[in-house]
Structure 1
């Protein structure tokens, strides 16, 4: 239960009484998201979200017991990638991480498009079923 003393096992990092996602697993997950959200694919947002959702659901289904702060930054990473695609489709340069882009395409825009949200899924999974 000491900080810095832990071990990796089956995609998790057990340290200080908490269960984190292993760095290697996070890197692999982000690489898979990057491969599905390339700006030069020429696919519509709906097609990209349809190909992303099974990956997100499966990854969350396996690693949902990780510490709660894991999921919100990953959601932000995914939405930033999608905003960059939308900018590219409008022939505008940039990576999709400006305040203007966030106001233009807020989180609810992606929720309405059907994007699976890791943080919301964790919220629902942590609720009592009684």
Structure 2
């Protein structure tokens, strides 16, 4: 491989280049936001943290907008991110969905002048997941379920 790269006028970066079997644990590699390891595709941690940081910036508790406006502002981000990473491992999406709903519950608590982060059982019963879906929140788990359905019409 090194000879082919040199013959084509390219160079290999010694820190970024390694030979390994990505089907084994610990021998994976990262490429274009994905982590390929053990025969599966995961979202790279840096990409996931970047999404979470952007969501945190859009869902500040002192934002002052209605929850519907907040959802409308984060939906394009969630749709685009899902469109790119939809082939990643499915557990990633339920984690991101939970994080987004937790941020939204914290905003709703703040609007009621109550402290906290929206993690308690009372918040989950007061604002269930379906209530956010009714407000139009894009849910990655549901989008993944729909994307993996058969399109032949035998459902």
TM-score range for the pair, normalised by the shorter chain length:
over 0.9
Q: In the alignment, does 2:75 pair up with 1:53? A: yes
Q: Secondary structure at the match of 1:8?
A: strand
**In 2, Cα distance between equivalents of 1:122 and 1:8:** 22
Q: Secondary structure at the match of 2:30?
A: strand
Deviation at 1:105, TM superposition (A): 0.1
Equivalences for residues 80-91 of structure 1 within 5 A: 80-91=102-113
Identify which of 99, 120, 134 aligns with 1:112: 134
**In 2, Cα distance between equivalents of 1:51 and 1:30:** 14
Of the two, which has the highest radius of gyration?
A: 2
Q: In the alignment, does 2:100 pair up with 1:78? A: yes
Deviation at 1:67, TM superposition (A): 0.7
Q: In the alignment, does 2:94 pair up with 1:100? A: no
Deviation at 1:79, TM superposition (A): 0.2
TM-score, normalised via structure 1 length: 0.99
Aligned equivalent of 2:58: 36
After TM superposition, which residue ranges in structure 1, 4 or more long, deviate above 4 angstroms? none
RMSD: 0.5
> For structure 1, which runs of at least 5 residues remain unmatched after alignment?
none
Greater fraction of residues in helix = 1
Equivalent pairs counted in the alignment come to 130
**In 2, Cα distance between equivalents of 1:129 and 1:12:** 27
**In 1, Cα distance between equivalents of 2:151 and 2:33:** 27
Aligned equivalent of 1:64: 86
**In 2, Cα distance between equivalents of 1:127 and 1:70:** 19
**In 1, Cα distance between equivalents of 2:148 and 2:41:** 15
**In 1, Cα distance between equivalents of 2:129 and 2:121:** 12
